[in-house]
Amino acid sequence: MFQQIWWLDPELTYGNAKPFVFTQGHSVCNRSFFPCFDTPAVKCTYSATVKAPAGIQVLMSATQSTYSEQEGVYQFYMEYPVPAYLVALVAGDLIPADIGPRSRVWAEPCLLPAAISKLSGMVERWLSAAESLYGPYIWGRYDIVFLPPSFPIVAMENPCLTFIISSILESDEFLIIDVIHEVAHSWFGNAVTNATWEEMWLSEGLATYAQRRITTETYGAAFTCLETAFRLDALHRQMKLLGEDNPVSKLQVKLEPGVNPSNLMNLFTYEKGYCFVHYLSQLCGDPKHFDSFLRAYIEKYKFTSVVAQDLLDSFLNFFPELKEQCVERKEEAVPKSQASCRDSCSTFLMLLVPGLEFERWLNATGPPLAEPDLSQGSSLTRPVETLYSLWTTEPLDAVAAASSVDITKWRTFQTVLFLDRLLDGSPLPHEVIKKLSESYSSQLDSMNAEIRIRWLQIVVRNDYYPDLYKVRCFLENQRSRMYTIPLYEDLCTGTLKSFALEVFYQTQNQLHPNLRKTIQQILSQGLNPLPTIDATAVATDTPAMVLEDKASEATNGAISLRDVNVSA
């Protein structure tokens, strides 16, 4: 049985004051929470009654709620039909703060000021931009709850109540993108849902496209192109490691019986799906015309579940000039005896018409057939490419490289793009890693965790011992799998496994039993099995970990959570 309900002792929370519980239903975990048809093809309304001790705040992904303090009973009701995986509950030491006319944040008391400062006024800005593109926000409130570091993924788009891991709070640009992605799911994924897990791109690809339309409206095209370049870099990294013939690179993936659908979640679901949706927007000639189509698509299918054919049929019907092209070309290509089926055989038309290539997009393995033009981001990406070239061109002129740009003035996505490319080139010549450390290590120490973990992975992959103490300090202060697993994987694929064992045994008690077990499995590779440290550790991996384990099996640990922004 897949684990759905996560019970945390107080010491696994930030405040260390009260116990905490949350659920994570995606993809098929809610069957262990309540009896249900655990498939995205089935939607229904729901109500729930929850009794909790005094001082414990209970929240659910519902449009209505009441609380009887005398009885300690919460009542919840979701008035719109949703698939089972979007039913969610969280309870703990949570307090609220309004950040907009229809939004509030919930967090442990020690985290609330940071959440307010990062998001006050911002969510309404993003919701308004999304509404201008795709029509009214139909869920009423858009609240956010920040969860302890044990939350197994980055974010989850539960309607009315987005779940986000608190660890991401310090990384402003990642926080912005993650929240906007979940906002986009309010239309693509929640209102209109993929009917089968084999077509998750219908939610994730469309949500990623909508996310980037929202960021373009609110932050400009250059920022959107930078973030897209960063993600597509990660996609090609995964493609190189998994191989172009790997079936998981298809948009329509075959789900074998008994396989957790979360195994199918990867960068292709998001980024290849995004590239296909962007391709559709280019076929119609104008992104604003495509926005109009998506508004009509949402209006037609809201509160239902769809397959790819529904989207593509609607697309051709909305743009009759494309459909007419299909008819004309098909009449040239097939005998008249077959022409009578053309109006009802959209798939047949797609297969025959040169240039549309829908069938290849959906069922071919490998990279996207086309990628967006990111030249509008060149003012942000070109400095990254120049700096990387300076550091990797022989003979090295470290003084010139280090003085060419002040990376402390860069955006986070510029810095992580630069570090990711250094990671891809590791191991680097010793002189290069030594000069990189002398030039940047102290500056990177004061930057956010998304940046620091990448530098520390470079340290580990290059066996650079002078900075190894920073790896220890980082792991001693991190309890999230997104910031621990990648380092332990890298430590265990190189010569530093004994160092990894030492750090783990010193820090294991601050980790959730599931994370502890996962790290034990990483450390056990190639060794005698480690002793079981906590008998309560749950054997079944969470969706995020299933993805990461699968990637690790395929690549010997070369892909980590840093490569797959595991937000549902």
Domain architecture of the chain: domains with CATH: 5-194 (3.30.2010.30), 197-332+352-363 (1.10.390.10), 379-525 (1.25.40.320)
Are 390 and 152 within 8 A, CB to CB? Answer: no
User: Would you state the pLDDT for residue 2?
Assistant: 53
Give the whole-angstrom CA distance, residue 112 versus residue 97.
8
**Local confidence band at 325 (pLDDT 50, 70, 90 cut-offs):** low
Which residues, in sequence order, are CB contacts of 356 under 8 Å at separation 6+? 283, 322, 326, 350
Identify the band that residue 370 occupies on the pLDDT scale cut at 50, 70 and 90: very high
Task: Name, in order, each residue with C-beta under 8 angstroms of 221's C-beta and a sequence gap of 6 or more.
Answer: 376, 377
The CA angle 532-537-541, to the nearest 5 degrees, is: 115
270 is catalytic: yes
* Percent of the chain scoring above 70 in pLDDT: 86
Whether the Cβ atoms of residue 347 and residue 309 lie closer than 8 Å to each other: yes
Closest CA to 513 of 168, 260, 150: 150
Average pLDDT, the chain: 88
Catalytic, out of 74, 142, 270, 488: 270
Active-site position among 157, 182, 199, 450: 182
Q: Residue 204 annotated as binding?
A: yes
258 confidence band (pLDDT: 50, 70, 90): confident
pLDDT digits 0-9 by tens, 376-395: 999 999 999 999 999 999 99
Q: Report pLDDT digits (tens) over 484-531.
A: 999 999 999 988 999 999 999 999 999 999 999 999 999 998 554 443
Q: CA 273 from chain center: how many Å?
A: 13
pLDDT above 50 for 342:
no
Lowest mean pLDDT: which of 206-210, 398-402, 480-484, 536-540? 536-540
Q: Is the pLDDT of residue 552 over 70?
A: no
335 backbone dihedrals φ, ψ, rounded to 5°: -65, 155
Task: Provide the pLDDT for residue 544.
Answer: 33
- CA–CA distance, 24 with 84 (Å, rounded to integer): 11
Residue 532 has a pLDDT of 35
Would you say 544 and 153 are in contact if contact means Cβ atoms under 8 Å apart?
yes
Per-residue pLDDT, averaged over 140-151, amounts to: 97
Predicted pLDDT at 344: 34
Respond yes or no on whether the N-terminal peptide bond of residue 395 is cis (omega within 30° of 0).
yes
Of the pLDDT bands very low, low, confident and very high (cuts 50, 70, 90), residue 113 is very high
